[in-house]
Amino acid sequence: MTQDEMKQAVAQAAIEYVEVGTIIGVGTGSTANFFIDELAKIKGKIDGTVASSVASAERLKGHGIPVYDLNAVDGISVYIDGADESTRNLHLVKGGGGALTREKIVAAVANKFVCIADESKLVDYLGKFPLPIEVIPMARSYVAREIVKLGGEPVLREGFTTDNGNVILDVHNWEIMEPTKLEQQLNNITGVVTNGLFAMRPADILLLGTPDGVTTLK
Closest-CA residue to 35 (of 53, 52, 54, 10)? 10
In this structure, are residues 23 and 47 in contact, taking their beta carbons and an 8 Å threshold?
Answer: yes
Q: Is 103 a catalytic residue?
A: yes
At 116, is the secondary structure helix, strand, or coil?
Answer: strand
Which of 8, 12, 31, 56 is close enough to bind ligand 5RP by CB under 6 A?
A: 31
Q: Is 94 in the site for ligand 5RP (CB under 6 A)?
A: yes
Name the DSSP letter for residue 97.
T
Q: Determine which one of 38, 85, 103, 146 is catalytic.
A: 103
Choices 67-75, 92-100, 148-156, 163-171 (CB under 6 A): range interacting with ligand 5RP: 92-100
The CA–CA distances, whole Å, from 154 to 29, 36, 127, 149 equal 23, 32, 12, 11
Number of C-beta neighbours around residue 25 at 10 A:
29
By CB under 6 A, is residue 100 in contact with ligand 5RP?
yes
Task: For residue 201, list its beta bridge partners.
Answer: none
Q: How many CA atoms lie within 13 A of 140 on its CB side?
A: 12
Minimum Å gap between C-beta 94 and ligand 5RP is: 4
Number of continuous H segments (helices) and E segments (strands) in the chain: 6, 13
Task: Print the binding letters for residues 145-184 with ligand 5RP: x by CB under 6 A, - otherwise.
Answer: ----------------------------------------
Site for ligand 5RP in 131-150 (CB under 6 A): none
Minimum CB separation of residue 201 from ligand 5RP in Å reads 14
Contact call for residues 25 and 109 (beta carbons, < 8 A): yes
Rounded least distance, CB 157 to ligand 5RP, Å:
11
Looking at 38, 49, 91, 97, which residue binds ligand 5RP (CB under 6 A)?
A: 97
In the list 25, 29, 152, 154, the residue contacting ligand 5RP (rule: CB under 6 A) is: 29
* 28 is an interface residue for ligand 5RP by CB under 6 A: yes
Distances (CA, A) of 24 to 10, 101, 144, 151, 156: 17, 18, 35, 38, 33
CB of 152 to ligand 5RP, least distance (A): 18
Q: Which residues are catalytic?
A: 103
